[in-house]
Each structure stands twice: as C-alpha cells, then as structure tokens.
Amino acid sequence: MSTDKPELLKQKVEDMEFQMLRLQDNLKKIAQKWHILGFEQLDNEEWVIVSLLDDGNVCKIMLNTNDKAYRGTWDFSIQAQYENDFTIHIGDIKGEANKGFGSICMDYLKDHACLHNVQVIKGDIAKRDWNHLDRLIHFYKKHDFTVELNREEQSGAIACYPHS
C-alpha cells in the first residue's frame, strides 16, 4: 500500500493521464509516417514510442520520448543497412547515451532481424568511437554481440547472431 499523501497521489494520476493523452496523440502522428513497433516504459515511468523504417535497403529503429509533442523527428535511432538477405550492418547509433534508449532500440532491431530471418547483425567500431570505447563494449556485450578490437589501428568489429 502506498504511503503517499492524497495530494501526491492525485498529482501522479493527473500526470499519468496527461502522459497517456500525449502518448495517444504522438502515436497517431508517428504512425502517419513510420511503422509503430511498440511503446515501452522507462525506469523513470516515462513512456517512449518505438517505430521502424524498413524499405528493404535501410532498416532504422527510431525512438521518441513522450515528454513533448511529436514534431517530425526522432529522439534516438539505430540506423542499419541490409548487406544481403541475411545480414544487417549497423551504420550508426544516434541519440543521447545512458538513458536506456539504445537497449530498447537494440532489442527491437534484434526482434525485427529474427522476424525477417536475418542471421547476422554486424557493425564497425571506428576511431571516432574510441573516446567511449568502454561504454560501447559494455553495451554490445550486454546485447550478446562479439566484439573484436584492433587497438593499434583503433578499429573493431561487432557481430550478433539473433537466432542463437
């Protein structure tokens, strides 16, 4: 049983009602442009909307926060390209780090890959990534990627087999 005062509970309910109305409005707008994959609740109880662009060439998982009205752009994305029918290559991950957005998008990318019988999700670690290498390694290993590094050349490769 909650020990919150009635005023606090009333405020929480009002906040949740507003958040649900915003979520509904944002879902309608995003669905006009992208395929909605789902929505998730963050640790801080905020909701995010996950959508997809997949034209058979490019596969882009996008996340929108629900703290503001949708204005036509995403807040976080994993951008990838199909190398062939069985391989997706992650080209870039864009958005704010350490909010859980990357994990949500990666889970959706892996689910999407399985749904389309993609056998390998792979990518590169570039020299520009070297200043946050520890964070990247942790992220990819958490999502079952193998990580191979060439420290001398400041480069690397990642791979995940979503069906295993």
- The CATH number of domain 6-160, selected from 1.10.3720.10, 3.60.15.10, 3.40.630.30, 3.40.50.10140: 3.40.630.30
| Residue 2 scores a pLDDT above 60 | no
Structural domain boundaries in the chain: 6-160
CA–CA separation, 47 vs 44, rounded Å? 9
Q: Which residues pair with 90 in a beta bridge?
A: 80, 123
Q: Looking at residue 30, what is its pLDDT?
A: 96
Contact 52, 78 (CB under 8 A): no
Q: Quick one: which of 146, 59, 147, 62 has its CA closest to 105?
A: 62
Span 103-114, average pLDDT:
97
Q: For the ranges 14-18, 29-33, 57-61, 101-105, which has the lowest average pLDDT?
A: 14-18
- 131-144: b (≥16 Cβ within 10 Å) or e: eeeeebbebbeebe
For residues 123-129, give the mean pLDDT. 93
Q: What is 30-50 written as a DSSP string?
A: HHTTSEEEEEEE-TTS-EEEE
pLDDT at 4: 67
- Model confidence at 1: pLDDT above 50: no
